[in-house]
Amino acid sequence: MPWSFRRPHPSFFTVLLPMLPMPMSRLPMSRLLTILATLLLTACATTPPPASRADVEQLLTLQKTRLDVAAPVARSKWNSHAPIDDPAREALILDDVAARAQVLGLDVAWTRRFFQDQFDAGKIVQRDLHRQWRVEQHAPFANPPDLARQVRPVLDRLTPDLLAALVRLKGHWCEPAVQRDLAELEPEILGADYAPAVRERATAALRCSR
């Protein structure tokens, strides 16, 4: 049946009018109906759309794509002897992420934490590789990737995609279906290539704290 707006029963306004500010309560009935309809539409527009398993899968896939960059970064830094930690660059990215999160309506502190977790998970991968290569006394790698021209552009392109995925799941993290999908898909998407410590760090902010 097509949706149609029915005029409320008069008793509805008997209850509603005393609750309205005095100037508004004196408005014509047609004007009140218009205002109420606008408020209802606004409330519906701000309600997060339902989350799907595909949303969770896409977010985890993007996280894995970001983690996959850790190995080339590790090879480049092995050759250059550059430190794994780069707090100055991390701070710049986090400040940019915070500004974007505010525009997108995401919790700024939580979003910064999520991206910091991605940095930390990637650094676990890099440290593990460097530890292994030291034991092996590994020689410098041939043709390591250029961080500025080849690696960082990939990471920069992933940032807005990750933010968009977070927006789609905003307000749904503690829903049982979302947490169940996360628990089922995380080992499937991340588990084949990454140790539990890496996976736990990458998904720490996604776990419902309730």
Average pLDDT (78-86) is 96
Per domain, the residue ranges of the chain are: 70-206
* pLDDT tens, position by position, 156-204: 999 999 999 999 999 998 999 999 999 999 999 999 999 999 999 999 9
Q: What percent of the chain has pLDDT over 70?
A: 76
CB 98 within 8 A of CB 112: yes
User: pLDDT-based confidence at 5, cuts 50/70/90?
Assistant: very low
Write the CB contacts of 150 (distance below 8 Å, at least 6 apart in sequence): 72
Average pLDDT (110-115) is 98
Q: How many CA atoms lie within 13 A of 128 on its CB side?
A: 13
Which CATH code is given to the segment(s) 70-206?
1.20.59.10
Tokens matching residue 203? 């998904």
Give the whole-angstrom CA distance, residue 71 versus residue 130: 10
pTM, rounded to two decimals: 0.76
pLDDT of residue 208: 85
* pLDDT tens, position by position, 50-72: 778 999 999 999 999 999 999 99
